[in-house]
Amino acid sequence: MSIARRLVLEYLHSIAGKHLHLRYLLSSRLNITLEGNMNNDCPRTREDVEKTLNEAKIKTLVLNPCTQILKFSEEEAAYTCLELNKELLETLESGQCLVIRGDKSENAVLCTINKTFELKDTETSNSLLIIKSIDNHSELKYLQDNEAEGRVELRIVDKLVHNYLEPRLCRPHLQIVRQLLNKQIFKGQENERNVNTYDLYSFDKLLTTVQASEEELLKELKDLNAIEYNGFWRLLDFEYHFRVFSFITTFIEQESIPLDKINMEMCSNAYEEIVPKEIFEQVFKYYTEPSENMPGYYSLNQDKVCRMVAESLLKDSRKFNLDEFLPVWQESVLPGNIQFPSMRLRKITCS
């Protein structure tokens, strides 16, 4: 007896012992010779099936009346198997999308709306058969109750698979975001004439380049203090950024505005001829947060203001003695009624 036939018989014997309702008989691709006519384009007849079962000593009474014959397609389909855990399966079932990102020089990652998974090529000891259509148990039970015995159906195997892609949760690859945005830093409208739009990145363009989910990418853009201007995400030149920042603090000081009752619209309108409104309001929101006591107004984020002033003082200084720096820093962040406790200054210095 050939090795191929012995494997088939052992396989049939094992599944019969488990009383499975689906019986897969391998096709002639394994060169198993059985007697019988080949009709209706099916490589096996009912007589062929019964003969194979008799050789395997399997009683036909334990089987469903419909036998499904598997035949390999002459042209293998370009399928890749992807394993889904419960979370990813629920994501698809809820109507959301799974997106694979990465170019030819990178290992591909799988992204949901808020998570990133690396794709690990994993081998399996069990061969997987990709079949577009096959009767399941309930359908075979219906045939058993409503149709005569002896039915043989041909099923085409599109591909034989020995490996699959296994998603594993990983950190998003966000290091490249700053590099991309540094290509065209925003230095003011007067400098935009020489900007090459090819080096500008919209959010969709960043998603096609950066291996991260949408929420992870948005968080990184926020952490970098990037702004969206004319549909493109940009980093602000430090001097330009500090200039807009100074407009905000100057307006608060000149108008003697309480730190928890700042009107963004009034502040923005005061400088609309100098700074694009779209940029001003995004910088404003970075240094403020919605007021808890005054709906529609904003409160100044004191830590962020202190940090920005500190960066401006240290920008051109290689060394600065801490005891000398703190008084200068405190004087710089006390325009008018803006008061910051000294303990906050020391806390930010150490962070």
Alpha-carbon gap, residue 149 to 251, rounded angstroms = 89
Alpha-carbon gap, residue 240 to 247, rounded angstroms = 11
Cα-to-chain-centroid distance, residue 349:
36
- pLDDT average, residue stretch 289-318: 86
47-88 per-position pLDDT tens digit? 777 787 788 777 766 666 677 777 888 787 787 888 999 999
Other Cβ atoms closer than 10 A to 32: 19
- At 295, list the tokens: 């709906």
122-150 per-position pLDDT tens digit? 988 888 888 887 766 666 655 555 554 56
Cα torsion through 160, 166, 172, 175, rounded to 10:
-60
Query: Would the pLDDT of 89 be above 80?
Result: yes
Q: How confident is the model at residue 28 (pLDDT cuts 50, 70, 90)?
A: very low
Query: Would the pLDDT of 301 be above 50?
Result: yes
What pLDDT shows up at residue 147? 58
Alpha-carbon gap, residue 72 to 24, rounded angstroms = 13
Q: How confident is the model at residue 166 (pLDDT cuts 50, 70, 90)?
A: very high
44 Cβ neighbours under 8 A, 6+ residues apart: 25, 34, 36, 38, 67, 69, 152
In this structure, are residues 205 and 181 in contact, taking their beta carbons and an 8 Å threshold? no
What pLDDT shows up at residue 335? 53
Phi, psi of 283 (to 5 degrees): -65, -40
Helix (H/G/I), strand (E/B), else coil: 211: strand
Burial of 312 (0-12, 13-18, 19+ CB in 10 A): middle
- pLDDT average, residue stretch 8-35: 33
Alpha-carbon gap, residue 201 to 214, rounded angstroms = 14
233-255 per-position pLDDT tens digit? 999 999 999 999 999 999 998 88
Burial of 11 (0-12, 13-18, 19+ CB in 10 A): middle
Pairwise pLDDT comparison (32 vs 105), residue with the higher score: 105
Alpha-carbon gap, residue 39 to 47, rounded angstroms = 12
Alpha-carbon gap, residue 164 to 172, rounded angstroms = 22
